[in-house]
Amino acid sequence: MGGPGAAADGEVEALAAAAAEAMGHAAEALTTLLDLPVRAGSPRVRRLPATSAAQALREAPAVEAALCFWVTGDPEGALLVFFPAGRARALASRLTGQPEAGEGRPERQEASALKEAGNILASAYLSAASRWAGMALKPSVPQLAPDWGRAVAGGALHGLLPETGTVLLAEVPFGDGRLVQGRVIWLPGTRTRGGLKQGHGT
């Protein structure tokens, strides 16, 4: 008979399978939207103490911009979409048909396009994840952090994670090998409320 460790391992494996399927559906939605062959990578699921999870998100390597969604349903939680340097601007250019913007805060049209793409991604992801949860999971309106490091320094992680206990982070990369590149991080069961701290998202 398996003990608590076996049960925990089973939960991690189940979440990895759910995240892989969910990102596969999201990649299909992005393929249709962008007319590019977007594919999902291999999932990575970690169970971390809340403080370590916060540090992992705060120090996430090579992250420039991020979209943040709060997930309602059971389990409540959050969904983050991380973009490495230049990839959010390249995606916005593809969506708007406009030349790629320079560094700095995106223009209104670019920000709107990124949020629209994020909505499509998150809705497809959570629709598939709902089958794992056994209940409809829905994303909030997205908030865009064009400079993730600055947003985190300003308190963007406040309220995202519990202060104690353990947290599951399910991470899946996606991309087309050329233009589109990013990572989706699903945080189920964190009982989040609200959005990115005011003043750090758009």
> Looking at residues 141-154, what average pLDDT do you find?
88
Among residues 107, 103, 114, 89, the alpha carbon closest in space to that of 30 is found at 114
Between 121 and 150, name the one with better pLDDT. Answer: 121
In this structure, of 59-68, 132-141, 192-201, the range with the lowest mean pLDDT score is: 192-201
In the chain, where the domains are located:
4-188
First to last CA, the chain: 50
**pTM, entire model:** 0.86
Could you tell me how many residues make up the chain? 202
Rounded alpha-carbon distances, angstroms, from residue 156 to 58, 96, 144, 186: 9, 28, 11, 16
Rounded alpha-carbon distances, angstroms, from residue 44 to 56, 105, 169: 13, 31, 8
Query: Predicted confidence band at 200 (pLDDT cuts at 50, 70, 90)?
Result: very low
The amino acid present at 112, given as its one-letter code, is S
Architecture of domain 4-188: 3-Layer(aba) Sandwich (3.40)
Query: Predicted confidence band at 202 (pLDDT cuts at 50, 70, 90)?
Result: low
